[in-house]
Structure 1
Amino acid sequence: MFEYQLTIQSAKNPGRPIQGSCRMGKAGRDWKQVYEIYGVENWWSVVALFVQAAIFAALSVFLLAFFEPLSVSLHSRFPAIPAPILRLAAGVMGSVAGLTAGFLFADAAHSLHTSAALRWAMAQRVVAMVSDWSTVRTALDLGCGRGILLNAVALQLKKEGSAGCVVGLALRGNTVAATLRAAVTEGVQEYVTCRQGDPRRLPFAGNYFDVVVSGRFMHTVVGVEERGRVLGEAVRVMREGGVGVVWDDDRVLVAEYAERLTGMGMEEVRVAEGMVVAFRKPVGGGATQRVGVVVAPKEYDYLSVSTG
């Protein structure tokens, strides 16, 4: 069980600080349901790891089961080598095969867990960083992927009875339909929309979103300067007093985000447990960084498009 707390600023009431907290222990949701909705990311890699692990496990069992005959066979082929050394070699091969199988099984299990279960748990943590969702009318999920964090935000908006909407920015257009189907399955389609776009040139006007979130996306942007541009765009489209929460799984990159945001003049930049960076855009402008192209309002009328 762990707990963390963060003081941030209300997006609608900049003068009032709010508290974001999260307590997580046992999973609050059936993980089978999570996998049924969102599937397994890069499932072929997980399958390949399990297959390799099974092969090495079978090899280890074979060497253990036929240790004596194998030792005799090796001694007959290499009579110049003392029998104890050959027995040791056979034992080492069996041990190495067993250890390799164990590591591969562990890697496969870790990949399976982080594919959806961990992402769902961390999505709840990201959402919990903003406690006053009742004031949120517009939110952006930068790099929405399969929609795990996107739908977590939408579920929170639904819980609050909000009339708000969360927009998911997808890198590839062929993933948008699947993301919207997941929203329908979660029962939050009226709160969700999704579109393709370049995170380095966000197709939104400045000072538009109350909240901007991102989960395990920033590390896919290659290059320090490019990641800086993406962060700058996230800041640009965020309203003054708005809140940003970025989760990634690389401590070095998380430190980079915090340093970059501090350099942009963001306030209350914090790194919370679980490699989550939260910050607030100051009121009064001046500290924001404009990157990319501002799109006219008429070009994002997709916000009202039904996702059903």
Structure 2
Amino acid sequence: MKMGKSATTGREWTQIYSIYGVDQWQTVLFLLFQAILFTVLSVLYLFYFNPICHFFEHLLSLAAVPSSAARFAAGFSGSVTAISAICLFFASANFFYSSLPLHYDMAQRMVNSVNNWSTVKLALDLGCGRGILLNAVATQLKKEGSSGRVVGLDRSKRTTLSTLRTAKMEGVGEYVTCREGDARRLPFGDNYFDVVVSAAFVHTVGKEYGHRTVEAAAERMRVMGELVRVLKPGGVGVVWDLQHVPEYVRRLQELKMEDIRVSERVTAFMAGSHIVSFRKPSQHIVGPGEVRLDWRC
């Protein structure tokens, strides 16, 4: 059976999967196992409905509930089991789709958000992971005939080594370098990159505090400040992430970023996601006295 092609690049999905594999495959397998389990339970409910009704009659009789409620209880629990199976199948399919097909196509959209790659000398992919976005940027630089380079930063050295292998497989190894580092304290100077991109990463920072805690939000805002700090004046930032995009927009507004744009909602990993793009102003002036913004705040 032929899997088809990417709508954005026309490449065969079998080729793309052979390079990048499936991220979060443990989650996909867990959801799929649960879906199959609930499907089996639903089939058992269907074939053994009458014995299950008798079981509920006996159970409800102990609580002095009319026996007529047993059939309803059996039917209701069977329906919930069947609906749960459908939801789990949908969730596993969405995680599988989000892991590569959606991630790959969103990476192409993020690349297209930058108008002119020919002038880009240095780009940063924050939280590069398997290198889907990193290699999309490198491919665009290669297509433009640029002498530019893209740096991938990840918290794991093992991941960066794997990412370099995927870059070589994509034929863009000479355009890519990778570094291990902490997104909250980027190992780069101020105004270093022409373009900074990040895909489905920022929301994972601070997860040790819990996603909805004040501490986790503070860590994410620190990452956004670092992202702005290393971006050159006039440079472009593009971030695709889940759930917390309104926070990022507010932070970018606080830092006086220009041309902030938010894409339509896209469901990824069973959550809402958006692409946010912005431009760092050429002049860091915020009123009388020429007070310069501190991007680390």
Q: Normalization by structure 2: what TM-score?
A: 0.82
Question: Are 1:237 and 2:230 matched, yes or no?
Answer: yes
**Equivalent position SS for 1:125:** helix
- The match for 1:41 among 1, 23, 31 is 23
* 1:281 alignment counterpart: 280
Matches of 1:187 and 1:122, distance apart in 2: 20
* 1:146 alignment counterpart: 130
Matches of 1:182 and 1:99, distance apart in 2: 40
Unaligned 5+ runs, structure 1: 1-23, 293-308
Residue identity in the other structure for 1:269? I
Question: Are 1:267 and 2:258 matched, yes or no?
Answer: yes
Question: Are 1:98 and 2:85 matched, yes or no?
Answer: no
Q: CA deviation at 1:241?
A: 1.1
Q: CA deviation at 1:25?
A: 6.0
Matches of 1:105 and 1:54, distance apart in 2: 8
Question: Are 1:157 and 2:141 matched, yes or no?
Answer: yes
**Equivalent position SS for 2:186:** coil
Question: Are 1:175 and 2:175 matched, yes or no?
Answer: no
Q: CA deviation at 1:83?
A: 5.3
**Equivalent position SS for 2:28:** helix
* 2:296 alignment counterpart: 291
Question: Are 1:199 and 2:198 matched, yes or no?
Answer: no
Residue identity in the other structure for 1:144? C
Deviates more, 1:280-289 or 1:107-116: 280-289
Q: CA deviation at 1:186?
A: 1.2
Residue identity in the other structure for 1:149? L
Residues 27 and 210 of structure 1, relative CA distance in 2, 3 Å threshold: closer
Question: Are 1:225 and 2:223 matched, yes or no?
Answer: no
* 2:212 alignment counterpart: none
Q: Normalization by structure 1: what TM-score?
A: 0.79
Equivalent residues of 1:266, 1:281 under 8 A apart: yes
Equivalent residues of 1:56, 1:97 under 8 A apart: yes
Deviates more, 1:270-279 or 1:197-206: 270-279
**Equivalent position SS for 1:227:** helix
Residue identity in the other structure for 2:134? L
Matches of 2:111 and 2:191, distance apart in 1: 21
Matches of 2:260 and 2:231, distance apart in 1: 15
Matches of 2:90 and 2:47, distance apart in 1: 24
**Equivalent position SS for 1:92:** helix
* 2:211 alignment counterpart: none
Matches of 2:169 and 2:35, distance apart in 1: 34
Matches of 1:156 and 1:277, distance apart in 2: 20
Deviates more, 1:202-211 or 1:187-196: 202-211
* 1:297 alignment counterpart: none
Q: CA deviation at 1:97?
A: 1.1
* 1:111 alignment counterpart: 95
* 1:215 alignment counterpart: 199
CA RMSD of superposed structures (Å): 2.3
Matches of 2:218 and 2:191, distance apart in 1: 22
Matches of 1:194 and 1:270, distance apart in 2: 28
Matches of 2:38 and 2:79, distance apart in 1: 10
